[in-house]
Amino acid sequence: MSLKRVVVTGAGGGIGAALARRFAADGAKVVVNDLNAEAARTVAGEIGGIAVPGDAAREEDVRHLIDTAWSELGGIDLFCSNAGVLSAGDETTPDAQWQRDFGVNVMSHVYVSRALLPRWLDGGEPKRLLITVSAAGLLTLLGSATYSVTKHAALAYAEWLRATYAHRGLIVQALCPQGVRTDMLTRGNDRGSGAASLLAEGALPPEEVADLVAGSLEDGGFLILPHPEVEGYYRLRASDPDRWLGGMNKLQRGFESA
């Protein structure tokens, strides 16, 4: 498997930066994208990559990213659609926050596929799209309706892409970690989120997640689960949803009484 031309969004820190560093260490030329231009340039400078700052939730920025990467690299072998946001909220969360979270957590992947698939499909060598979802896309995240809903949508879109285009050379994989030691999780913990505090206890370093991703690309399995226990939770949710929901509500009551 040759992955010499890689693009990573949300690569200014966390999982994205770890992915960029890992693929660069393996010999790939990496294009680093992040909304934070300084962070993107810092990571790119560390790995000898190319920084292309921009907003993954803006289609014109995504098209610019892909056009630039294609021109600089001569093509793209792997696109890591990793940008994401997490905000606390429930049914009262303002529409603007719902729209922002949906834009980053869902539409960013749509924009990537719109721009890339016409170049990729039926192009000979298989092409790979890694979508960073979350265990919340398989389960839920107490304390954040927007994150739970948008990550379920992201997973559904990844499934649809794989089901629709696998025979035309597109390999789609969904990365679904639980807690990872990133600024996103730290901010949730600082806000006193019970769910974030619980996730922090078993949080993995982003470098460990990146290593697992690198090892999982070869077999091409759809779900990449850095936390093995998530598979058991997912099976329980599917086989006995009432029991699973009862357990989640018990956990919620515990957070409220703490």
pLDDT of residue 258: 77
pLDDT of residue 200: 67
Cα–Cα distance between 41 and 50 in angstroms, integer? Answer: 8
pLDDT of residue 193: 56
pLDDT tens digits, one per residue of 205-230: 999 999 999 999 989 999 999 999 99
82 phi and psi, to 5 degrees?
-110, -15
pLDDT tens digits, one per residue of 123-140: 778 899 999 999 999 999
Cα–Cα distance between 54 and 66 in angstroms, integer? Answer: 11
Has residue 185 got a pLDDT over 90?
A: no
Is residue 176 within 8 Å of 224, Cβ to Cβ? Answer: yes
Domain ranges of the chain: 5-257
Residues making up the chain, counted from first to last: 258
Query: How is residue 193 written in tokens?
Result: 């989120």
Is residue 23 within 8 Å of 3, Cβ to Cβ? Answer: yes
Catalytic-role residue among 147, 157, 233, 234: 147
| Sequence-distant (≥ 6) Cβ neighbours of residue 92 within 8 angstroms | none
CA angle 207, 39, 96 (to 5 degrees): 100
pLDDT tens digits, one per residue of 85-117: 999 999 999 999 999 999 999 999 999 999 999
Has residue 20 got a pLDDT over 80?
A: yes
Which CATH number applies to 5-257: 3.40.50.720, 2.60.120.10, 3.20.130.10, 3.30.465.10? 3.40.50.720
Cα–Cα distance between 83 and 56 in angstroms, integer? Answer: 7
Percentage of the chain modeled with pLDDT above 70 = 93
Beta bridge partners of 110: none
Annotated active-site residue 147? The verdict is yes
**HSE-up of 176 (CA within 13 Å, CB side)?**
29
Closest Cα partner for 22 from 48, 47, 55?
Answer: 47
